[in-house]
């Protein structure tokens, strides 16, 4: 039996002369040739990287590169590289892995995409962490250190979420001025397109409230907004209310992601407001009942649907970031235009108008594949595929027409005229602080629209073949 790294250090002996060196990388989605500045609205602190740093034994020499913000020093000596990947960052992650593996440095990958597509990821990595990394990552490092590596590390599905991210790795990097904190993971709903609910198998688990409060007190900066990155912060109603009550004395400003059912729970909305909630991201997705049926999201229509829900949120002084999805089988140019009008008329703080994305591992992906409507074997790896292209055959439009409709929706919603008009809504000018944020965030979205469209998957300048394991 081998001793763990911590045990070896405790015993005063070391397997190597020098500390084991780990390099953690956060990959970007892609980069155009000659691109100088990455999409600014995507530059939030990468919490998965900070979680890996927190799970790494303290005796390991850890460094971190954020591929969105800085060049990676591939020739810098290291013993292991760890990359957490999502479907959109998979191709870039494989490019980075190829660079290191050509130099003889092993690479371990985990994250959503590694869990939903472990066989594919195993082709490009020396080891794959499937599921949440809490229960496995220290063992992964130990095995690499002792040369006893396994190809797949399967985590217990329900990790105990009590590790706080190690944010020291963010020092010196220019992220958006918002602090990301996690209370809970997963969601109990089963929307057919949702990779999150596929990853957690429609389960939801949360951290102890006092640990979350302790972390917030430790990491908050004066006046800084807290973003609860939970997939659905109110998925566990009682737990969420417990958190809100505990937050009230701290006079925070926070935003988070939730589902529309919360807008019909008056006690929850009151507690959210009292605890400092400024606004929430809600997946409104569609105004069309048939589309909502297809995506298994008819709960969006409960008790009067989005108009009533949005009025309730406004009444409580909460802003809404509404997200919409186009390309389900009943969507037409007219339904898309109606949706943009709705978002404008409701005075949404901000909104996203995306095409339906068949993420591997979701019921939507399986359905589209069964119907032979996928246009690429694996759109996220295809060099021809670009961000915002439609990777499937829609029923009522051509792929190009759907892509154009989504782009037109964004351009229309983030036109200066629309921004000015929505800025007149009472919720968007309820305080000088809100007005300032409203204009700053809408301006950022206005400027980022064209930059995102057509972004390649991976770095366009990268030369060579992806190296298979």
Contacts with ligand SF4 by CB under 6 A lie at 187, 189-191, 194, 196-197, 231-232, 259, 283
Give the alpha-carbon dihedral of 110, 219, 159, 134, to 10 degrees. 50
Distance of closest approach, residue 235 Cβ to ligand SF4, in angstroms: 7
Distance of closest approach, residue 194 Cβ to ligand SF4, in angstroms: 3
* Closer to ligand SF4 by Cβ: residue 164 or 195: 195
Contact between 84 and 121 under an 8 Å Cβ cutoff? The reply is no
Tokens of 367: 């359905």
Distance of closest approach, residue 197 Cβ to ligand SF4, in angstroms: 4
Interatomic CA distance for residues 198 and 42, integer angstroms: 23
Q: What backbone phi and psi angles, to 5 degrees, belong to 352?
A: -120, 135
Distance of closest approach, residue 236 Cβ to ligand SF4, in angstroms: 12
Distance of closest approach, residue 111 Cβ to ligand SF4, in angstroms: 17
H-only helix segments in 123-236: 137-146, 195-200, 209-219
* Closer to ligand SF4 by Cβ: residue 24 or 325: 325
Interatomic CA distance for residues 298 and 300, integer angstroms: 5
Distance of closest approach, residue 210 Cβ to ligand SF4, in angstroms: 25
* Closer to ligand SF4 by Cβ: residue 202 or 381: 202
Tokens of 38: 């990455």
* Closer to ligand SF4 by Cβ: residue 354 or 412: 354
Distance of closest approach, residue 256 Cβ to ligand SF4, in angstroms: 12
Is the torsion defined by CA of 322, 323, 329, 332 positive or negative?
Answer: positive
* Closer to ligand SF4 by Cβ: residue 120 or 231: 231
* Closer to ligand SF4 by Cβ: residue 203 or 449: 203
Contact between 320 and 352 under an 8 Å Cβ cutoff? The reply is no
Distance of closest approach, residue 188 Cβ to ligand SF4, in angstroms: 7
Distance of closest approach, residue 88 Cβ to ligand SF4, in angstroms: 16
* Closer to ligand SF4 by Cβ: residue 125 or 287: 287
Interatomic CA distance for residues 111 and 129, integer angstroms: 7
* Closer to ligand SF4 by Cβ: residue 190 or 367: 190
Distance of closest approach, residue 307 Cβ to ligand SF4, in angstroms: 19
* Closer to ligand SF4 by Cβ: residue 201 or 415: 201
* Closer to ligand SF4 by Cβ: residue 35 or 229: 229
Interatomic CA distance for residues 446 and 450, integer angstroms: 9
H-only helix segments in 225-276: 237-247, 266-274
Cα angle: 251, vertex 256, 259; to 5 degrees: 130
> 178-181 and 152-154 as β-strands: parallel, antiparallel, unpaired?
unpaired
Contact between 123 and 469 under an 8 Å Cβ cutoff? The reply is yes
Got the DSSP string for 412-458?
HHTSHHHHHHHHTSGGGGSSHHHHHHHHHHHHHHHHHHHHHTT-BSE
Give SS3 for 125.
coil
């Amino acid at each position: 039996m081998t001793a763990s790294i911590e045990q070896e250090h405790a015993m005063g002996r070391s397997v190597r002369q020098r500390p084991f060196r780990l390099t953690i990388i956060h990959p970007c989605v892609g980069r155009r040739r000659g691109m100088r500045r990455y999409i600014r609205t995507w530059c939030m602190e990468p919490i998965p990287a900070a979680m890996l740093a927190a799970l790494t034994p303290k005796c390991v020499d850890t460094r971190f590169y954020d591929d969105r913000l800085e060049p990676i020093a591939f020739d810098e000596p290291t013993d292991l590289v760890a990359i957490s990947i999502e479907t959109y960052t998979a191709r870039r992650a494989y490019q980075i892995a190829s660079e290191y593996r050509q130099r003889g440095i092993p690479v371990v990958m985990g994250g959503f995409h590694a869990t939903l597509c472990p066989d594919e990821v195993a082709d490009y990595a020396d080891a794959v962490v499937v599921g949440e990394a809490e229960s496995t990552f220290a063992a992964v490092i130990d095995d690499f250190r002792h040369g006893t590596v396994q190809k797949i590390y399967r985590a217990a599905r329900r990790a105990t979420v009590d590790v706080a991210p190690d944010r020291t790795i963010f020092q010196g990097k220019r992220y958006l001025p918002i602090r990301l904190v996690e209370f809970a993971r997963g969601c109990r709903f089963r929307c057919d397109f949702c990779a999150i609910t596929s990853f957690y198998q429609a389960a939801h688990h949360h951290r102890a409230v006092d640990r979350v409060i302790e972390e917030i007190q430790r990491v908050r900066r004066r006046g800084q907004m807290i973003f609860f990155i939970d997939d659905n912060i109110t998925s566990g109603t009682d737990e969420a209310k417990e958190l809100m009550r505990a937050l009230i004395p701290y006079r925070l400003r926070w935003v988070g992601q939730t589902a529309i059912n919360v807008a019909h729970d008056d006690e929850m909305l009151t507690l959210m407001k009292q605890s400092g909630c400024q606004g929430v991201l809600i997946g409104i997705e569609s105004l069309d009942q048939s589309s909502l049926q297809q995506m298994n999201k008819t709960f969006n229509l409960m008790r009067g649907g989005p108009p009533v829900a949005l009025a309730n949120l406004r009444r409580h002084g909460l802003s809404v970031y509404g997200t919409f999805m186009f390309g389900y089988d009943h969507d037409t140019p007219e339904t898309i235009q109606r949706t943009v009008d709705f978002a404008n008329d409701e005075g949404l703080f901000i909104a996203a108008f995306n095409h339906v994305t068949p993420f591997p591992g979701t019921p939507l992906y399986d359905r589209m594949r069964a119907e032979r409507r996928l246009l690429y074997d694996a759109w996220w790896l295809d060099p021809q595929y670009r961000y915002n292209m439609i990777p499937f055959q829609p029923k009522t439009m051509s792929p190009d027409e759907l892509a154009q409709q989504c782009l037109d929706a964004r351009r229309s919603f983030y036109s200066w005229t629309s921004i000015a008009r929505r800025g007149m809504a009472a919720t968007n000018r309820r305080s000088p602080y809100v007005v300032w944020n409203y204009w700053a965030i809408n301006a950022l979205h206005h400027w980022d629209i064209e930059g995102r469209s057509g972004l390649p998957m991976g770095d366009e300048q990268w030369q060579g073949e992806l190296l298979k394991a």
